[in-house]
Structure formats: C-alpha cells, structure tokens
Amino acid sequence: MTNGTALDSVTGKTILLVNTGSVKKKFILKRLKKLGVVLVCLNKEKNWAQPYVDHWILTNNANHPKAIEDTENFLASNPSIKINGVVTFWEDDVLLTARLADRFNLIGIPFKVAKIARNKYLFRKFCQEREIRVPQYRLIKTKADLAYVLANFKFPLVIKPTSGSSSAYVVKIENEEELYTTYNYVKDNISVGIESALSEGLDILIEEYIDGEEVDVDIVLQNGKVKFHSISDNYQTKEPFFVETGWAIPSSLPPQRQHELIRLAEEVLERLGVQNGVIHFEAKSTPNGPVPIEVNLRMGGDETHAFVSGAWGVDLIECAVAVAIGSYIPTIDRPEVPRRYLASSDFLSDYSGVVSQLEIDEKVKKLEYLEELHFFKKIGDPILVPPEGFEYLGWVSASGVNTLDAEDNLQSILKMVKYGVARFDRGSSLGKTSRRNRFSSAVLNKNLLLQAAKLEQVRQTTLENQRNLSIGILGDRSESSDPAELHANSDLADQIKRTLKECGYQKVRFFDFNDPTKAFNRLKDSSVDLVLNICGKVNNLNLSESHAAALLEVLQLPYSGSSSATLSLCTDKIQVKKLLDYHKIPTPKWDYAYTMDDEITDALRYPLIVKPGSTNNSIGVTNNSVVTTKEQLKTQMERIITELGQPVLVEEYIEGDEYN
C-alpha cells in the first residue's frame, strides 16, 4: 500500500539486487525482506546482508562481462530460479544494472541511455544539443583546456568528476589561482578508493557556477509516465566543497517554480528515453528558469526514502521493485498538504580528526517529532572531511506541523546531541610546514590521520579488553657473526612474547623484517591491532631501522616507537645538531665536514670527539675518536671520510658519566 494506492503484490517475486551497498543501506534490504521479495544478490562477497539475501552470485561488479557471465552460470545451475526483475540502489552499479536488463530482457534503463545520464559531460552535451539550458562547460584534458576556460568562462566555476556521486571532488573556484591549484588537487587525488562510484572514469569537467536554490526531484516512472513526484529543498551547502548540510520536504519554492522543475524533469527523462525506474533528479531553480544538474537512475540516498515516506506515505523501495517486475502502478495522487513536514541535518565536522566525544540525551528518543537519528561513527573512529576525504558522521530528521515547526524541532534535537572531533595536527609530529594552498597537505594529513585513529582505538580499549588485542612483534633475526648480538636480538623478541603471554595476551606473533617482502605480506594479511617495533636493522644494515617503521606506516598499523621520519632524522647526526641549535636546546659546540677540503672552525676547544655523521650504535667511534691535536683530528677525519665514506661530525668532548 502506497499513500492509499494499492500496488500489486511483489511477494514471492525474485529480484536480482546488484550490490548490497554499504551497511548504511541495511534499511533497504530489511524493507525488501519485509515485502516478501526473494533476493538474489550480485556482489563482490557475502557481507552484513546475509540475513536478508536468499542467493548470492559472487563476482567482480566492476568487470561487467564477468558479472554477466557469472549471472548466466548461476541461472544455468539453478533452473528453478527465475529472475523477475533487476534493481540497484547503489550508484556504482547503475551501468551494470542497465547491461543486465539488456542481456536478460528485463525491465530497466537501456545501457546506452544510462551511459549518457551517468556521465556529467555527456549529459551536458546531450542537453545542449536539445536546447535544454545548461551552464558553459568543458572537459579538461590538458592545461590548454584550462587556458580556454580562463578566456571564455566567468568566475565562479565548479570543477567535478564526470562520473561519481555525492559531492566528492566537487569544488567551487573563485579566481585564476584557485583554478590551477584546485585542478591539480583533483587530478592528483581523484580515486575510486575515496569515491567508489568513480569506477567508470576519472575525467574532469569544469563549468560555470549556477546561482539558485538546489532541489531534489524524486520520480516514479513507469512506461514513460510519471506516476509520482516529490520535490525536497537542499539546505545551503558548505562551500567550496559543496558539503551537503540537510534537506526539507515538501519544497518551499513557489508553485510556479515547482511546476517548472517537474516539466524540466519530465522533458529530460523523455528525451533521454528513460521509460521505467525510480529516479533521483537534481536541479537548481533560478529566476531565469530551472537548470538540470544530474540524473541519478536509482532511488536517492540518505534521507530520500524516509522523507518521501514520511511526507507523502509513498514507499520508493516498493515502487522500485514494482517497476522492475512490471507490476502496474496506478497514478499516485499526492495531497495538497503532506502527512508531515520534515527537516534534516547532517552531523558534520569542520576538520578531519578522530571522534572524541559522542553524547546523545536519552530524552531524544522519546520526542514525538524525532523521525530518524543515525550516527555512523563511534568514539575513536577517524573522520575525513575535505580536502582529506568526504565523510560525515550521521544525520537526524524531525517533523512538524509546518516547515518552520519542523526546523525548530530539528534545532531542539541538535542541542541534545553533543559530539566532538579531536583535530588532527600534523605539526605535532612533523613540525610546522608552510601551507602553499588549501590542498597542499591533504594526502599527508589523511594517511597520518588514519594511522593515528587506529592507535586511538587501541588507547580507547579498556584494560580488560586489551588482553584480546592481537599483538605483532616486528624485529630482525640477526644474521650477525657476533654470537652475543645474535643471542641478544633473538632473546629480546622471545622475552617480549613470553612476558605478553604471562600477562594474558593470547594473540602474539613475530614478524621477521630480514625478509621485508614476506613481513609486509604477512602483516597485510594479519589482523594485528598493534605492533611492537623492535627492529634495529635489516639484513645486518644498521641504517635501515627507519624502513621497518615506514612499512608499518604504509600498512597504517599502529606501532610503538618513533616514526620513520624521526628514525631517519636521528641517523643523520649533523641534521640533529642543526635542529638542536635551531630550537636552542643545549648541545656541545660542533662543526662538520663532507670532504677533507672542508675546514673545521678554530672556535672549538680540545679535546674533541670525531664521529661519522650518518651511523648509529657507536659505529665508527673508537678509543682514538677523542683527539687533542690538529694532527689527530686530521687522521680521524680522513679515516671517516675516506675509509668509511661518511661525512664527519666534530664536537667538543664532554667529561662525565653517560646515561641512556
């Protein structure tokens, strides 16, 4: 039943669901199960959706021929199963779903149509050729295209990927300098790892910015006829990254503007040749008329289903299944006044960091006007916001007797939800670095933050639960000819392992970095929570200890000890002395030389100690390293520079006891 309109039953019908999506989509599968649909899921792997899926077809959804072949094989092996329809709620697989509909003669959107709608450049070109208003746009392949934009476009501009969903890598540009820095940022960072819906291509589009009210038009389309439509308003996005902040339904736009938006959506879909589907149409309403932004050939994400159901009593999930199986949908009459007015807000952070606080007043759940509240992060989780990533923490929606009442109720709820994000400060570990532009530290910040977040999660673990952590020991089974050194290195790892076992840690593993490739693969495939890094050398090379830490950083595994940058710095005694002087930390007076032609300052007072500039563990330091004359100094410098091939560090010798 949809808003009082009876739909033919979908119970017992078999649907090919293309991709479960993330766990955020659980409400969709729960609803499908409640409708009594038999689900055959085409997915990379079995996951959280197992309780709702009847049959799995495990495949690589990004490889369309393989996915189709695996579907054919499944149907051949299960002749009793007849697919009645195919549907996806996941943007990544809109094109695969269209291919499957074509191949198995199912109701859907033809692949050639989906390809145009899915690609923002092709969609702009399609609209322009049919005199549907679009902003000036250009596909950016080279720097020459940027020069064309500068000469022919007016600021502000918008840069965006031609594929993808949400606002990932969509950035507003105000001037020439930002044009080049933003283009470089997008070009260098765009990745399916950040936005999986980019799998169809990484091309970049630039267009003029459209000033107007942004809206979403949700449409149920069957046999080319609009059976239902709804318009919701988007709250002002946070620029320059167009971070979505919230929605309101029904739209507060004047009736004439709403009518123009519906006519535009109908025209675009008809001209494209979209006959069937639940469509999420994005547009802007301007004083000069509506402008299409993009057409999503699937149900809208986030609040869309809850909003349309709450305001109009229409179940878009049920409609999507009905359209897919060809079950007739009568025109759904929408009343003048909605059941409820709704407003929502996303939980956002102004900066990337680690969630450090989350307090939700218990009274919130008892509020009549609370519709839904979702928090996708927990304390200790990383949150990556532009330019490092494109995440949000969750969302909440409220209802009211009118738009203002719903918005007031929403604000009341927001005051009862307290959350905090500990800002990631790269300066705490790397020192202050000048930031050339708003994107210059994005990748570095992201990688360091993810590692810091994993360590924070370990820190948040209670003492009792710490015993359940999986601990790795990264060391080196020395191949030294010195029996004492060989015993010391092996004994340390064994002693740590034995002590941890005695303390109740059951999951302790040793990883030998003398075989870096094997150690890397074993660590990558392990479920280690924390690594104790005791690696002092690799294959008997003392200056390689920083490499072990670097490997752990690449794997984003929390580990004990100093970072690879610190370890690398500390092997360079000359750089360390410069750093100490810069920060005015007391240190013996010193000088250095790279060749025998370099002169050591006469300001140094004997006795002096002469050391190699880039070794550790006292390598190259002997009883003769303390000198009292120029002749002795020259001899030791020659030994280090000529024989050892090292720069030399000379510093005033300090009498006294030495401590570690």
| Residues 564 and 600 grouped into a single domain | no
pLDDT of residue 437: 60
Q: Residue 166 pLDDT more than 90?
A: no
Q: How many domains does the chain have?
A: 4
Residues 109-119 pLDDT 10s? 999 999 999 99
Residues 493-514 pLDDT 10s? 889 999 999 888 888 999 988 8
Give which of 609, 472, 603, 459 is closest to 528, Cα–Cα: 472
Q: What is the mean pLDDT of residues 127-145?
A: 95
> How far is the CA of 286 from the CAs of 133, 213, 261, 293, 295, in angstroms?
11, 7, 10, 12, 18
Counting beta carbons within 10 angstroms of the beta carbon of residue 499, is it exposed (0 to 12), middle (13 to 18) or buried (19 or more)?
A: exposed
| The one-letter amino acid at 156 | P
Q: Residue 200 pLDDT more than 60?
A: no
pLDDT of residue 109: 97
| Residues 366 and 407 grouped into a single domain | yes
Query: Of 98-107, 308-317, 433-442, 531-540, where does mean pLDDT reach its minimum?
Result: 433-442
Return the residue matching tokens 């609209």: 127
pLDDT of residue 434: 40
Residue 63 in any domain: the answer is yes
Residue 258, classed as helix, strand or coil, is helix
Q: What is the mean pLDDT of residues 287-302?
A: 94
The pLDDT confidence band at residue 524, using thresholds 50, 70 and 90, is confident
Q: Residue 650 pLDDT more than 70?
A: yes
pLDDT of residue 428: 41
Where residue 423 sits, what CATH number does that domain have? Answer: 3.30.470.20
The pLDDT confidence band at residue 608, using thresholds 50, 70 and 90, is very high
| Residues 385 and 483 grouped into a single domain | no
Residue 376 in any domain: the answer is yes
| Residues 55 and 91 grouped into a single domain | yes
Strand partners, 471: 508, 530
The pLDDT confidence band at residue 198, using thresholds 50, 70 and 90, is very low
Residue 493 in any domain: the answer is yes
Higher pLDDT, 490 or 384: 384
pLDDT of residue 459: 64
Q: Residue 656 pLDDT more than 90?
A: no
Report helix angle 111-118 to 255-272, nearest 10: 130
Residue 449, classed as helix, strand or coil, is helix
Q: How many CA atoms lie within 13 A of 337 on its CB side?
A: 6
Distance CA 372, CA 344 (A): 9
| Residues 541 and 519 grouped into a single domain | yes
Which of 542, 569, 596 marks a domain boundary?
569
| Residues 499 and 592 grouped into a single domain | no
Query: Of 16-25, 191-200, 540-549, 619-628, where does mean pLDDT reach its minimum?
Result: 191-200
pLDDT of residue 461: 67
pLDDT of residue 529: 85
Q: Residue 527 pLDDT more than 90?
A: no
Q: Residue 518 pLDDT more than 80?
A: yes
Give the CA angle between residues 359, 360, 362 to the nearest 5°.
Answer: 130
| Residues 62 and 104 grouped into a single domain | yes
| Residues 593 and 561 grouped into a single domain | no
Higher pLDDT, 515 or 374: 374
Query: Of 57-61, 398-402, 559-563, where does mean pLDDT reach its minimum?
Result: 559-563
What pTM was estimated for this model as a whole?
0.72
Of 92-101, 190-199, 446-455, 547-556, where does the model show the most confidence? 92-101
Q: What is the mean pLDDT of residues 518-524?
A: 87
The pLDDT confidence band at residue 425, using thresholds 50, 70 and 90, is low
| Residues 547 and 594 grouped into a single domain | no
The pLDDT confidence band at residue 209, using thresholds 50, 70 and 90, is very high
Residue 247 in any domain: the answer is no
Q: For the residues of 283-316, what is the DSSP string, one character each?
A: EEEETTEEEEEEEESS---TTHHHHHHHHH---H
pLDDT of residue 538: 72
Where residue 548 sits, what CATH number does that domain have? Answer: 3.40.50.20
Of all residues in the chain, what percent carry a pLDDT higher than 70?
87
Q: Residue 1 pLDDT more than 60?
A: no
Residue 560 in any domain: the answer is yes
Which of 538, 569, 600 marks a domain boundary?
569
Length of the chain measured in residues: 660
| Residues 645 and 559 grouped into a single domain | no
pLDDT of residue 427: 43
Residue 334 in any domain: the answer is no
Higher pLDDT, 10 or 525: 10
Q: Residue 197 pLDDT more than 50?
A: no
Domain extent at residue 364: 344-437
Q: What is the mean pLDDT of residues 340-365?
A: 92
Q: Residue 426 pLDDT more than 50?
A: no
The pLDDT confidence band at residue 466, using thresholds 50, 70 and 90, is confident
Residue 645 in any domain: the answer is yes
In sequence order, which ranges of 82-166 are alpha helices (DSSP H)? 94-103, 111-118, 120-129, 143-152
Query: Of 10-24, 237-251, 281-295, 379-393, where does mean pLDDT reach its minimum?
Result: 379-393
Where residue 582 sits, what CATH number does that domain have? Answer: 3.30.1490.20
Distance CA 327, CA 331 (A): 13
pLDDT of residue 462: 65
| Residues 387 and 414 grouped into a single domain | yes
Would you state the structure tokens that stand for residue 383, as one six-digit string?
Answer: 């949150």
Higher pLDDT, 30 or 9: 30
Which of 58, 86, 114 marks a domain boundary?
114
pLDDT of residue 201: 52
The pLDDT confidence band at residue 549, using thresholds 50, 70 and 90, is confident
pLDDT of residue 195: 44
Mean pLDDT of the chain: 88
Query: Of 45-59, 114-128, 533-547, 566-580, where does mean pLDDT reach its minimum?
Result: 533-547
Q: Residue 54 pLDDT more than 50?
A: yes
| Residues 468 and 541 grouped into a single domain | yes
pLDDT of residue 525: 83
Q: Residue 282 pLDDT more than 90?
A: yes
Q: What is the mean pLDDT of residues 423-436?
A: 45
Higher pLDDT, 252 or 453: 252
Is residue 242 within 8 A of residue 284, CB to CB? The reply is: no
3-state secondary structure 213-244: EEEEEEEEEECCEEEEEEEEEECCCECCCCEC
- Report the C-alpha dihedral over residues 26, 30, 31, 35, rounded to 10 degrees: 150
Residue 170 in any domain: the answer is no
